[in-house]
Amino acid sequence: MSEPPTKPDAAAPPPPSAPATAKPRDLDAEAAALAAMEAELLGEPAPAPAPSPTPAPPEVPAPTEAPIPSIPRAAAPAHVSASQPRMAPLATAKPIPVVQFDKVTKTYPSGFTAIKDVSFTIEDYPGRGEFVSILGPSGCGKSTVIRMIAGLLPQFPQSSGTVLVDGKIVKGPGPDRGMVFQDYTSFDNRTVIDNVAFGLECRPAGLAKVRERRIVEAVRKNNAITLRTSSPHLFREGESVMIDGVKDKHLNGEAFVVRSIMSPTEFTVEQRGPDSQPSSGGIARGMSYGGGLSASARRELAAYWIKKVGLDVDRDAHKFPSELSGGMRQRVAIARTLILEPRIILMDEPFGALDPPTRARMQDNLVELWREQSPTIFFITHSIEEAVFLGDHILVFSNSPGTVLQNLRVPPPDRPSLEMQRDPKFHEVVLELRATIDKLESSSRAGD
Ligand SMILES: Nc1ncnc2c1ncn2[C@@H]1O[C@H](COP(=O)(O)OP(=O)(O)OP(=O)(O)O)[C@@H](O)[C@H]1O
Ligand SMILES: [Mg+2]
């Protein structure tokens, strides 16, 4: 977890407050008991109990099943079934979802209830994470929900209900979850590049996992085969990498030993066969090391991510956060999280401070990253357009105390953001969703 000033990767011990499994507290009863005790001590009659701060939840309309008009799309990504309905209630839970909320309520010591009986399940589909957009009015508890997943105080722990990540009760922050905060967070005394590289410094040397990287170019030349990957490969010299699916068939199904690392996205292996023209496609599968990288490898990787979020390495890498605009600082915060490739990325209005062209570019980058690395992403936004463009799953929250009003599926993006948002059919979908949300919100208010 990467909330300064604590180390992003340091697995923080569970907070001293009640664990997630604690019995739900009845704050009304506690307050009434306390008032009665004080009154007894003062020799005064006990005051009448205060009205409940958590009124019964309003009647929430059933999820809308009416189909939203479909947008003509290019070929769906491989992991999306062509027959997938445009918008439909979610299927029932499968074993060990990535995240599961079951009747989760958060009531602060003041008696204020931020979210009430929130339940949802985010499945773990083989080879891909879900992109979950979270929509809802200000103050409805969106940040509360993702900070609970992150295990961050004071939203964590919940007052009642269960929060599971990978089937386990959340006990605090962990390196499997990376968060981009609503208010950009960086270390003021570190330069941009040192901020971005920071999480890698904290990684244990042995941390490695099997990763597949898409090959964008493979060339046999000068006694070596040079392979370029679409995102940092993090392979190491001397390790074995399996290559498959490249157009140059001679490479396929073979294990190669990494000979040298040219850049975060380039490496060479020994040449087999004659020289060749550049080929593309396929994947390289090997162990990627998130930790134990040399200082220069960390800085090279940080430079890659600085460029990826649209900052200029030469111009910006050695600036301090105070020398950056709000949007630039937010991009540093995003790079700090993405460089660590967490399995679950929690993003709290990450693009709110960006100008429209940068925002569209960042949306496209995020989609690319999602396709490439398959994390599960929780993405809070106030923009229905952004939620529909990015998400393949949308959670709509009610007014405070937040509850899940709608749990919807939409097809994931298949075109660049600007192109998609010029499509009139896309606007139809957005308008329809806006009308649905307005209806749900007004009926929820009517039930207050
Ligand atoms: N530490 C706290 N103590 C008491 N109340 C809190 C605390 N933190 C948040 N809240 C309250 O919980 C409610 C939900 O807050 P949260 O930050 O989750 O809302 P949000 O949906 O993210 O809103 P926004 O869209 O404005 O960011 C708000 O009414 C907020 O004032
Ligand atoms: Mg918020």
**Cα 103 to chain centroid, rounded:** 22
> Is 148 a pocket residue for ligand 1 (Cβ < 6 Å)?
no
308 within some domain:
no
Per-residue pLDDT of the chain (448 residues; tens, 9 = 90+): 444 433 333 333 333 233 333 334 333 333 333 333 333 333 333 333 333 333 333 333 333 333 444 444 333 333 333 333 334 445 554 578 999 999 999 999 999 999 999 999 999 887 778 999 999 989 999 999 999 999 999 999 999 999 999 999 999 998 889 999 877 778 999 999 999 999 888 877 766 778 788 899 999 998 899 999 988 888 889 999 999 998 888 788 889 999 999 999 999 999 888 888 898 889 999 887 777 788 988 999 999 999 988 899 999 999 999 999 988 998 999 999 989 888 899 999 999 888 899 899 889 888 888 887 789 999 999 999 999 999 989 999 988 899 998 898 888 888 888 888 888 888 888 998 888 778 766 765 655 5
Other beta carbons within 10 angstroms of residue 249's beta carbon come to 10
CB under 8 Å to 226, separation ≥6 — which residues? 217, 218, 219, 262, 266, 267, 268
Find the farthest-apart pair of alpha carbons in the chain and give their distance in angstroms, rounded: 97
CA–CA distance, 409 with 350 (Å, rounded to integer): 22
Tally of structural domains, the chain: 2
CA–CA distance, 416 with 410 (Å, rounded to integer): 16
Considering the domain architecture, whether residues 248 and 137 belong to the same structural domain is answered as: no
Find the 78 Cα to ligand 2 centroid distance in Å: 33
Query: What's the CATH code of the domain at 102?
Result: 3.40.50.300
380 within some domain:
yes
> Is 213 a pocket residue for ligand 1 (Cβ < 6 Å)?
no
Cis-peptide, bond into residue 157, ω within 30° of zero: yes
CA–CA distance, 86 with 308 (Å, rounded to integer): 31
Considering the domain architecture, whether residues 249 and 144 belong to the same structural domain is answered as: no
Considering the domain architecture, whether residues 70 and 139 belong to the same structural domain is answered as: yes
> Is 139 a pocket residue for ligand 1 (Cβ < 6 Å)?
yes
Other beta carbons within 10 angstroms of residue 413's beta carbon come to 23
Is the four-CA dihedral 358, 360, 363, 368 of positive or negative sign?
Answer: negative
Considering the domain architecture, whether residues 171 and 234 belong to the same structural domain is answered as: no
CA–CA distance, 353 with 290 (Å, rounded to integer): 29
**Domain end residue (candidates: 224, 259, 289):** 289
Quick one: which H or E segment has residue 313?
helix 313-316
439 within some domain:
no
Structure tokens at 100: 């599961």
CA–CA distance, 380 with 172 (Å, rounded to integer): 21
Q: Ligand 1, from 116, 144, 378: best to mutate by most atoms within 8 Å of Cβ?
A: 144
Query: What's the CATH code of the domain at 259?
Result: 2.40.30.180
Residue 276 class from Cβ within 10 Å (0-12 exposed, 13-18 middle, 19+ buried)? middle
> Is 106 a pocket residue for ligand 1 (Cβ < 6 Å)?
no
Q: Ligand 1, from 17, 110, 116, 140: best to mutate by most atoms within 8 Å of Cβ?
A: 140
Q: Which ligand is nearest to the CA of 142?
A: 1
| pTM exceeding 0.85 | no
CA–CA distance, 285 with 235 (Å, rounded to integer): 9
Domain housing 124? 27-34+51-176+342-418
> Is 114 a pocket residue for ligand 1 (Cβ < 6 Å)?
yes
> Is 47 a pocket residue for ligand 1 (Cβ < 6 Å)?
no
442 within some domain:
no
312 within some domain:
no
> Is 417 a pocket residue for ligand 1 (Cβ < 6 Å)?
no
115 within some domain:
yes
Asked whether the beta carbons of 53 and 28 are under 8 A apart, the reply is yes
**Cα 422 to chain centroid, rounded:** 26
Tokens 């060990």 belong to 96
432 within some domain:
no
198 within some domain:
no
Considering the domain architecture, whether residues 165 and 223 belong to the same structural domain is answered as: no
Query: What number does the ligand 1 atom closest to the CA of 144 have?
Result: 18
> Is 340 a pocket residue for ligand 1 (Cβ < 6 Å)?
no
* Residue 368 identity (one-letter amino acid): E
